[in-house]
C-alpha cells in the first residue's frame, strides 16, 4: 500500500489483477494464489537516500495550514514510482540527483539552514536547466496534488460543486479547485 489515499502501490501486477477482477476473473476459477497480495513493498532508495528525498520534498512543499509533502506521502509515492514504473535511465538520473543533494550535506545542516541549501540548488539547477531536476520537481508537485491531502486540503474539492456562477469573489483564503 502506498500512503496516497490508501490505494495499492502503483505497479503492473496490481493493474493486471484489477483488470482481471473487473472482467470477471474471480468467477473464472482463477486460483486465489494468483490474486494474493504481493509481499511488502520493496524500496528503491536506500534509507539515507530516502531521508534526503523526504527532506527535499518537504522543503519544496512544507507544512503550513495545509499538509506538507511528507504528510501527503510524497516520498513514499516517489519511491514507489521508481521501484515499479521508472526506466533504468530515469532511476539512475534520480538516484544520482538524490546522491548529489545528500552529498551537498543537506541532512548534516541544522533544520533552519536546509531550505537555503535547497533554494541555492534550485537556482543553480534551473539556471543550467537540468532536465532530471526539472522532472524531479514536476513529480514532487504532481504526486502532492494527486494525494488526498493535496487534492482536498490544499485545493478545494467538492464532489459535485454547487451551481455555476459567472463571477466568484477571490480572497486571500480562496484556493484553486481540484477536479
Q: Which element (helix H / strand E) includes 19? A: helix 12-22
In a domain, 40, yes or no: no
In a domain, 114, yes or no: yes
In a domain, 35, yes or no: no
Q: What is the pLDDT of residues 64-108, one digit of tens each?
A: 999 999 999 999 999 999 999 899 999 999 999 999 998 888 999
What size, in residues, is the chain? 179
**Phi, psi (degrees; rounded to nearest 5) at 42:** -90, 140
Alpha-carbon distances of 145 from 60, 71, 74, rounded to whole Å:
13, 12, 9
pLDDT of residue 134: 93
In a domain, 3, yes or no: no
In a domain, 170, yes or no: no
- Residue 175 clears pLDDT 50, i.e. is over it: yes
156: three-class secondary structure by DSSP: strand
pLDDT band of residue 123 (cuts 50, 70, 90) is very high
Beta bridge partners of 81: none
pLDDT of residue 171: 84
Say how many domains are in the chain. 1
pLDDT of residue 62: 95
* Percent of the chain residues topping a pLDDT of 90: 52
Q: Which domain holds residue 105?
A: 51-158+175-179
pLDDT of residue 140: 95
Q: What distance in Å separates the CA atoms of residue 117 and residue 101, rounded to the nearest whole number?
A: 9
Residue 107 · residue 55 · CB < 8 Å: yes
Neighbour count for residue 58 (Cβ, 10 Å): 21
pLDDT of residue 42: 80
In a domain, 34, yes or no: no
- Residue 143 clears pLDDT 90, i.e. is over it: yes
- Residue 174 clears pLDDT 50, i.e. is over it: yes
- Residue 45 clears pLDDT 90, i.e. is over it: yes
In a domain, 64, yes or no: yes
Half-sphere exposure at residue 83, Cβ-oriented, CA atoms within 13 angstroms: 19
pLDDT of residue 34: 46
Amino acid at each position: 500500500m502506498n500512503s496516497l489515499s490508501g490505494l495499492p502501490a502503483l505497479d503492473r501486477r496490481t493493474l493486471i489483477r484489477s483488470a482481471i477482477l473487473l472482467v470477471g476473473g474471480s468467477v473464472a476459477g482463477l486460483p486465489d494464489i494468483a490474486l494474493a497480495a504481493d509481499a511488502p513493498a520493496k524500496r528503491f532508495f536506500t534509507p539515507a537516500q530516502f531521508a534526503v528525498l523526504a527532506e527535499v520534498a518537504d522543503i519544496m512543499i512544507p507544512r503550513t495550514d495545509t499538509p506538507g509533502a511528507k504528510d501527503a506521502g510524497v516520498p513514499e509515492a516517489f519511491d514507489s514510482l521508481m521501484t515499479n514504473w521508472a526506466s533504468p535511465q530515469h532511476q539512475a538520473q534520480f538516484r544520482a540527483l538524490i546522491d548529489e543533494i545528500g552529498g551537498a550535506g543537506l541532512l548534516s545542516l541544522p533544520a533552519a539552514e536546509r531550505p537555503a541549501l535547497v533554494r541555492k540548488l534550485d537556482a543553480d539547477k534551473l539556471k543550467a536547466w537540468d532536465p532530471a531536476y526539472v522532472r524531479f520537481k514536476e513529480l514532487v508537485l504532481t504526486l502532492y496534488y494527486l494525494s488526498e491531502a493535496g487534492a482536498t486540503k490544499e485545493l478545494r474539492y467538492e464532489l459535485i460543486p454547487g451551481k455555476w456562477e459567472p463571477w466568484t469573489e477571490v480572497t486571500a483564503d480562496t484556493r484553486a479547485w481540484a477536479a
